[in-house]
Amino acid sequence: MSQVKPVYSRILLKLSGEALLGQQDFGISVDTAKAIAHEIREIHDLHVQIGIMIGGGNIFRGIYGTEAGMDRASADYMGLLATMINGIALQDALEKEGIGARHISAIEISGVAEPFVRRNAMNYLETGNILIFTAGTGNPYFTTDTAAALRALEIGAQVILKATKVDGVYSADPLQDKQARKFESIEYLDVIKKGLRVMDTTAISLCKDNNIPIIVFNLRKKGNMKKVVLGQKVGTRIF
């Protein structure tokens, strides 16, 4: 019996901060972080090189601070720091799975993370380490979606896996509209034209200009991440 091989050798996984909530309303569920780390390990065991961009919405989202009257830049910096807390938690969970993980931040805090240097990052990948990217691009006004697209291009990822709580891209929010239609695949421009809230316009444009596909899938269904990497039809492909 021949061994099933992955269709991608290097990926960028985009995780929202909310992915670490579990059943909580705020913060980090250690059990959920462990479960995600285990699923990532299954991909790592297939000799796939993995970069992860993680958000911080489970702790603080910059837009909420802005809506409450904070300066936009200050609120965004707080959100970027929240991603670093998540990065520390995910690194710990991955290391407990027996995987080397490097926490790389766009904001320098030398005690908990190292700065992004592309040559170093590529060396880490090639020696079997998982890269955890935090603090987005390091700048306010840019989302972690845009940062995910940027880092994917910098490390030469073949695809961006966008982990969500629904099983793909829909014409409307399927949690609110039962008539929402799921797209098996959709083009970048149609995502923008239809105003679908998958990733922000800057991220979609970066992927379009550089021909990097995005696969949106449900993280909550065990084994989905591995199925995507093996080329099975899961979620929605944006191309």
Q: Domain boundaries in the chain?
A: 10-238
Average pLDDT value for the chain: 96
Structure-token match 């899938």, residue found:
217
Residue 132: which residues within 8 A CB-CB, separation 6 or more?
52, 54, 87, 90, 91, 94, 101, 102, 103, 104
Q: Are 75 and 63 in contact (CB under 8 A)?
A: yes
pLDDT, residue 125, reads 98
Question: How large a percentage of the chain has pLDDT more than 90?
Answer: 95
Q: What is the pTM of this model?
A: 0.96
Q: For 62-118, what is each residue's pLDDT tens digit?
A: 988 999 999 999 999 999 999 999 999 999 999 999 999 999 999 999 999 999 999
Q: What are the angstrom distances between the C-alpha of 146 and each of 1, 111, 151, 155, 205?
A: 41, 26, 9, 14, 9
pLDDT, residue 3, reads 61
Q: State which H helix or E strand residue 185 sits in.
A: strand 185-186
What is the maximum alpha-carbon separation in the chain?
Answer: 61
Residue 7 has pLDDT above 80, yes or no: yes
CATH architecture of the domain formed by 10-238: 3-Layer(aba) Sandwich (3.40)
